[in-house]
Structure 1
Amino acid sequence: MKYAWVSALLLVASLQLSQAWDGATLYFGLAAFTGFLALLLKKLVPAGLAGLAVMVLAMAAGFFAAKGASPDRDPTWVLLDTVPRLLTAARPAPATPELLVPGLLLIIGVSTVTVLSVTKRGTALFVPALGSATLYVAAALLTTGRADRYGLTALVLVVVLALGWLIIDRSGPVVPPAVLATALAGLTLLAFVLPANGFEPRKLVTPPVTDIAIANPLPQLAAWAAQGDAELFRMRGPEVPVRLVTLSRYSGASWEAASTYGPLGVVDAPDLPTGGRFQDASVDLTITGLNGEWLPGVGRPQAVSLSNAMVDPDTGSLVVADGVKTGLSYTVRGVVETPSDADLAEAQVPADATRYTALPRLPFTLAEYARQATANARTPYEKAVALEQVVRLNRRPDAEAPVGSSYARLETFLFGNPGESGAGAGTAEQFASAYAVLARAVGLPARVVVGFQPVPEQNGERVVRAADATAWPEVYFSGWGWVAFDPVSGNGSGPSAASKREVLNRLASTTAKPTPTSLASVPPLVQPSAVQPDAVAAPEVRQGFPLWAFAPVLLLIGLYAARTSRRLRHRAAGPVGAWNEVLDSLQLAGLRPKPSRTVPDIAREWGEAGTHLAVMVDQAAFAPPPSTPQQHGWRFARDIRKAVRRKASWWRKVVWAIDPRPLFRR
């Protein structure tokens, strides 16, 4: 019965902890019973040695499971490194060996200590409570309280604890209702108050950041187009564009990707927040021919089932430092922004997004062309739609067109004379780059994405080929996030065709073509035009209640728990324990007797209950063990404690339950 109770506690707490991982329920459920291995070993060796043997085996297995991430490091470093890896992984963490190790070792350690602790007779069964609380608090911190939003698991644990203490341990101390209330309050405090007030254990770990020099894949679009039907990867999931890399920096000669990447669980937020409307998308991908370090994903990645995947938190680009390999299978979950046409119609753009509007030494021809194209536009959205139409007008996709996205190449693409190589023709690289540069020239935050458009599904699986590779520009709107545009065909996954048509009809720009201007007196450096300031109010930042304000509450809870534990130990110790409880009461009331006084001398002052208890204490201390069960004596101690408390001053009665002085009495 006792072991079944311990198993139930460990199983509930372990399953609660498993919610911090994705797909770890089975592993953690089995780990909850590993303590019984120590129980079997206890028949051969002492309990301490049995527990040590189980933990050594567990850590050895953990080292071999996690060493793949750091094959050249010593075992201690590998095991310690699993903690920062876990704290910098996505939520929930992928169920990879190196990320499972810290959670499994915690459960195995708690399970071993808990099972061995209940083998002793007369124990108060406090270790199971401490062990289950440890696992519960770990789950609350790793999930910032999301694992038990309504406190149901905490309630289950307290109920199971109460049943064990009140039914199984009948010969032991009876647990006061205040202890159960305190336990529930403590778990609730840790599970809800701490995470809600900004306590984030990930901030205690400095996430590893890696500098990776990776080539811009835009010029590769022409090579992919030439490969045609060559298979790159396969995917299962919703029909959303697959993103390979987002390019946010433009030097005037080419687009550049971020060079600094970190784990997916980095706490730092992106430089521009996610929009107010979005949907979650999860896809399964299998690499069949794609090469390089870039890892295909969807939307803004939230979780990847690869522990070695790293991300640029601002753009969401995923990389694998040692490169993707044929046969690699993984799952990626991301957030896809889905603003409505009505949302975009009146949306504004942030005025301080200089990273996404920078254009070093912008030629006057491009600046004037963008100004003319958007002269009649009233809102940022109308500017974005007008530019999409202007870039597409009288220009054609050509897989054999010259590559490049420099100012010179874009001027040839937009303004080149008929017959000139690359004039009016280009790949998705030129269409997307021209759009992004013109958008930045009129103050719209823009960037370029290299990826793949979804293809028709075959037997539940989409085969993505080289010909499906493309590039598209995105514009950021305050409150709604990044919105894709398609200057190649005008379709894509951004605003609806009806919404764009309505804008173009109002602007009457379906046939208009801006005239490029070239004047010798124009300075070589032209700044982008100013746009309307951000009209969307910044969300109010709610300041959480300071964490330090709860320190006194935690201290009081700790003192009360320590005093209760001491009283329970006294109750389990027979007459001697009962007399120690009397001495504690005298100290709390300020009536502590002198050390030279004897037990009968002190007890006589408290009437018949004191006399009876003194006799029992003398017999327990000096007489041979009785042949018949001895009276407990706790009833007399309780009567004396009540009499003592009545003589105490009012302020001593107020702090009676939390006064720490008895804890230091020998």
Structure 2
Amino acid sequence: MKRWTERRGAGNGGGRVNSPLLKHGWVAALLLVASLQLAQAWDGATPYFGLAALAGFAALPLRKLVPSGLAALAVMVVAMTGGFFAARGASPDRDPTWVLLDTVPRLLTAARPAPATPELLVPGLLLIIGVSTGAVLSVSKRGTALFVPALGAATLYVSAALLTTGRADKYGLVALTLVVLLALGWLIIDRRGPVVPPAVPATALAALTLVAFVLPANGFEPRKLVTPPVTDIAVSNPLPQLAAWAAQGEAELFRMRGPEVPVRLVTLSRYTGASWEAASTYGPLGVVDPPDLPAGGKSQDASVDLRITGLQGEWLPGVGKPRAVSLSNAMVDPDTGSLVVADGLRTGLSYTVRGVLETPADSDLAEARVPADATKYTALPRLPFTLADYARQATQNARTPYEKAVALEQVVRLNRRPDAEAPVGSSYARLETFLFGAPGESGAGAGTAEQFASAYAVLARAVGLPTRVVVGFQPVPEENGERIVRAADATAWPEVYFSGWGWVAFDPVSGNGSGPSAASKREVLNRLASTTAKPTPTSLPSVPPLVQPTAVQGDEVAAPPADSVFPFWVFTPLLVLVALCAARTSRRLRLRAAGPVGAWNEVLDALQLAGMRPNPSRTVPDVGREWGEAGARLAVMVDQAAFAPRPVPAQDSWRLARQVEKAVRGKASWWRRVLWAVDPRPLFRR
């Protein structure tokens, strides 16, 4: 029985299960969990990442023909070639190295989660394939330790945490699953585990915990390390086109599927006194710069699928504040959320937009304030006195900014009618004609949504309300689950910003837009009955050329803290120590698997760390005798293994090596003992 037990222990490596099927199954489970965790940084990438996790097994048949290094190189060359052809569409004239390297900044400046387009999937797929190949080949060697798969899984998990700022595993369930899988691997497949001091794995675990949880939780954003490309686009103001769209009537522009929410085309925030202007500088959707005014405290997500059928121009229809677009070439103005495509729209273009809609309750707006320093949204260059006084009269009895906004909506709509054939324009002169023009005068009391929205925005700015104008489309009834948006559905509406609640839409055309409820507005108007009558326009012999808008006393919005790059270099020493510990651990595991010769090399490593490296001309027995009985017995085993090979229990040789190492370490100086676990010199000793 004793002899059979000894043979059994020698056959399985002293408690180590060497079943290839078991090892490869464990690696596949570990990689699948880590890869699916990383897939959360992309939108709809789960199938691709699941297949990439198994790609490393393609190196197994190659390993029978060529060394493992060449097999891994072949797999990665094929993967990188495929990645080049997948990503070269964005830059067809650049060399392969540049195309592949450019996919990383593209990913870091894309929306979060990134759309599953070829050029954005390439970095993640290549990372997974590289980790998978290294992990599969590492466990294919007989007697190999399982450190490489664990390191690969940790790399994928940390990458997912950084790309999603810690949101991919909020409750740590995936981390727990990976720990359980790692424990099963070391207990069942390699029961002896890594032979390292307890401080080494403790340091490694602390470093991984720091990277995966502490950095994202403290605002570390890897996207800040990449300067997003910014593009200047000469785009036109679509407000004057509202009249042309109204004339086209039933002409189809695009189709959509999704919730019944307004579709936004462009948001205009700069007013020159002659017209509204859109932003001219756009960047990728994933830029980390916050908008100039903070988002509201209540919101809901909305996702719509759109297909362009007749709409032209550069503006890309979307919903709310865009968070993700399935088009990799879409760019956005971070302040307004307006989307553009530099190459222009084309018929048949299909895409998905996910956005955030601000949804404050009526009770939230009743006492809400407005920021006092939003000069960008209250600027009115050379405002005519007539418009300023008209706005003051319309809101003279209003107590809060919300009451002023409701009163102005009623005043602009009162005794004025929509007219698709009215003169276009939103200059001061056109708005004065729209508001004060005498009966029979062209454009007096009549206009398109351009005049209604512009008049409201200008009057609101005159009393200190931050406003902007949105050009878009109101939802239409579904047909076979699909909404057909026609030219007649185009409109414009103003929005007012309230501190803490974000941008709120108003509808001076009909009063029934997607902003506050009609009941809330009626309650305000009943309380302000005296202000709902048409104010009297001021008539002066000479109108002062410049009038400053009346300031509204409101809550000041705290300026967002300046973006500061996280001092990642602080953790560089810790990461270097972790890397050295990992390399030393891997070397020790290889030596342990090499029997007595590996044990003797462990002794030589200890002598080098202690500054007692023997002269190469000395023999093994000569050196071993200097360290007592353990050294002498180990030297005999080494000679037997090298010159007269005979079975030697691996445990005995390693136990003797540990005794000698302990004796050597006891004679080393204190500072050498402090650096013992991280000294890199043994890594370079042949």
Q: Give the alignment's TM-score, normalised by structure 2.
A: 0.90
How far did residue 138 of structure 1 move?
Answer: 2.0
Match of 2:15 in 1: none
> Cα 1:27–1:208, aligned 2, differ >3 Å: closer, same or farther?
same
Match of 1:167 in 2: 188
- Is the aligned partner of 1:289 residue 2:310? yes
> Cα 1:504–1:613, aligned 2, differ >3 Å: closer, same or farther?
same
Match of 1:140 in 2: 161
Match of 2:137 in 1: 116
Aligned partner letter, 1:272? L
> Cα 1:212–1:323, aligned 2, differ >3 Å: closer, same or farther?
same
Alignment of 1:269-348 (within 5 A): 269-348=290-369
For the Cα contact (< 8 Å) 2:186–2:192, is it kept in 1?
A: no
Aligned partner letter, 1:498? A
Name the Cα RMSD after superposition: 2.8
For the Cα contact (< 8 Å) 2:256–2:484, is it kept in 1?
A: yes
Residue number among 640, 644, 650 corresponding to 1:624 in the alignment: 644
Match of 2:13 in 1: none
Residue number among 181, 192, 196 corresponding to 2:217 in the alignment: 196
How far did residue 305 of structure 1 move?
Answer: 0.9
How far did residue 52 of structure 1 move?
Answer: 3.1
What SS does the aligned partner of 1:69 have? Answer: coil
The more displaced of 195-204 and 585-594 is 585-594
How many residue pairs match? The answer is 665
d(CA) in 2 for partners of 1:78 and 1:389?
56
- Is the aligned partner of 1:104 residue 2:110? no
- Is the aligned partner of 1:58 residue 2:83? no
d(CA) in 2 for partners of 1:631 and 1:531?
83
Alignment of 1:471-482 (within 5 A): 471-482=492-503
For the Cα contact (< 8 Å) 1:172–1:572, is it kept in 2?
A: no
Residue number among 424, 438, 443 corresponding to 2:459 in the alignment: 438
The more displaced of 179-188 and 486-495 is 179-188
Question: Which digits, 9 at most, give the CA deviation of each residue in 1:52-82, with x for residues without a partner?
Answer: 3333322222222222222333333322222
How far did residue 251 of structure 1 move?
Answer: 1.1
For the Cα contact (< 8 Å) 1:151–1:188, is it kept in 2?
A: no
How far did residue 464 of structure 1 move?
Answer: 1.6
- Is the aligned partner of 1:532 residue 2:553? yes
d(CA) in 1 for partners of 2:577 and 2:357?
47
Question: Which digits, 9 at most, give the CA deviation of each residue in 1:75-102, with x for residues without a partner?
Answer: 3332222222111110111111111122
Aligned partner letter, 1:34? A
How far did residue 238 of structure 1 move?
Answer: 1.5
Question: Which digits, 9 at most, give the CA deviation of each residue in 1:458-500, with x for residues without a partner?
Answer: 3332222211111000011111100001111112111112222
- Is the aligned partner of 1:567 residue 2:574? no
Match of 2:17 in 1: none
- Is the aligned partner of 1:364 residue 2:385? yes
For the Cα contact (< 8 Å) 2:312–2:346, is it kept in 1?
A: yes
- Is the aligned partner of 1:207 residue 2:233? no
Residue number among 41, 49, 58 corresponding to 1:20 in the alignment: 41
How far did residue 314 of structure 1 move?
Answer: 0.5
Aligned partner letter, 2:524? V
Question: Which digits, 9 at most, give the CA deviation of each residue in 1:193-244, with x for residues without a partner?
Answer: 2222332221222111111111111111111112222222222211211111
d(CA) in 2 for partners of 1:29 and 1:305?
21
Segments of structure 1 that go 5 or more residues without pairing to the other structure are none
How far did residue 639 of structure 1 move?
Answer: 3.0
Match of 2:10 in 1: none
> Cα 1:613–1:629, aligned 2, differ >3 Å: closer, same or farther?
closer
For the Cα contact (< 8 Å) 1:196–1:544, is it kept in 2?
A: no
Residue number among 618, 631, 635 corresponding to 2:655 in the alignment: 635
- Is the aligned partner of 1:253 residue 2:278? no
How far did residue 39 of structure 1 move?
Answer: 2.2
d(CA) in 1 for partners of 2:387 and 2:455?
9
- Is the aligned partner of 1:40 residue 2:40? no
For the Cα contact (< 8 Å) 1:114–1:131, is it kept in 2?
A: yes
How far did residue 561 of structure 1 move?
Answer: 3.1
For the Cα contact (< 8 Å) 1:347–1:381, is it kept in 2?
A: yes
How far did residue 595 of structure 1 move?
Answer: 7.0
How far did residue 366 of structure 1 move?
Answer: 0.7
Match of 1:493 in 2: 514
Aligned partner letter, 1:469? A
d(CA) in 1 for partners of 2:43 and 2:233?
28
What SS does the aligned partner of 2:478 have? Answer: coil
d(CA) in 2 for partners of 1:318 and 1:590?
65
How far did residue 659 of structure 1 move?
Answer: 5.4
> Cα 1:50–1:543, aligned 2, differ >3 Å: closer, same or farther?
closer
Question: Which digits, 9 at most, give the CA deviation of each residue in 1:269-295, with x for residues without a partner?
Answer: 111111111111111112222221111
d(CA) in 2 for partners of 1:135 and 1:327?
37
Match of 1:186 in 2: 207
d(CA) in 1 for partners of 2:559 and 2:366?
19
> Cα 1:159–1:176, aligned 2, differ >3 Å: closer, same or farther?
farther
- Is the aligned partner of 1:220 residue 2:227? no
Aligned partner letter, 1:37? A
Residue number among 400, 408, 411 corresponding to 2:429 in the alignment: 408
d(CA) in 2 for partners of 1:193 and 1:631?
41
How far did residue 607 of structure 1 move?
Answer: 3.8
For the Cα contact (< 8 Å) 1:590–1:648, is it kept in 2?
A: yes
Q: Give the alignment's TM-score, normalised by structure 1.
A: 0.92
For the Cα contact (< 8 Å) 2:383–2:547, is it kept in 1?
A: yes
The more displaced of 573-582 and 213-222 is 573-582
d(CA) in 2 for partners of 1:365 and 1:265?
44
> Cα 1:200–1:401, aligned 2, differ >3 Å: closer, same or farther?
same
How far did residue 170 of structure 1 move?
Answer: 6.2
The more displaced of 184-193 and 291-300 is 184-193
d(CA) in 2 for partners of 1:474 and 1:628?
83
For the Cα contact (< 8 Å) 1:351–1:534, is it kept in 2?
A: yes
Match of 1:518 in 2: 539
Match of 2:411 in 1: 390
Aligned partner letter, 2:222? P
Match of 2:526 in 1: 505
Aligned partner letter, 1:406? S
Counting aligned pairs with the same residue, the percent is: 86
The more displaced of 72-81 and 174-183 is 174-183
For the Cα contact (< 8 Å) 1:197–1:546, is it kept in 2?
A: no
Residue number among 240, 244, 254 corresponding to 1:233 in the alignment: 254
How far did residue 110 of structure 1 move?
Answer: 2.4
Question: Which digits, 9 at most, give the CA deviation of each residue in 1:474-527, with x for residues without a partner?
Answer: 011111100001111112111112222222222223642211113245421111
Match of 2:7 in 1: none
How far did residue 171 of structure 1 move?
Answer: 8.9
Alignment of 1:84-95 (within 5 A): 84-95=105-116
How far did residue 44 of structure 1 move?
Answer: 4.0
How far did residue 411 of structure 1 move?
Answer: 0.3
What SS does the aligned partner of 2:88 have? Answer: helix
Match of 2:477 in 1: 456
For the Cα contact (< 8 Å) 1:197–1:544, is it kept in 2?
A: no
d(CA) in 1 for partners of 2:633 and 2:244?
98
> Cα 1:427–1:172, aligned 2, differ >3 Å: closer, same or farther?
closer
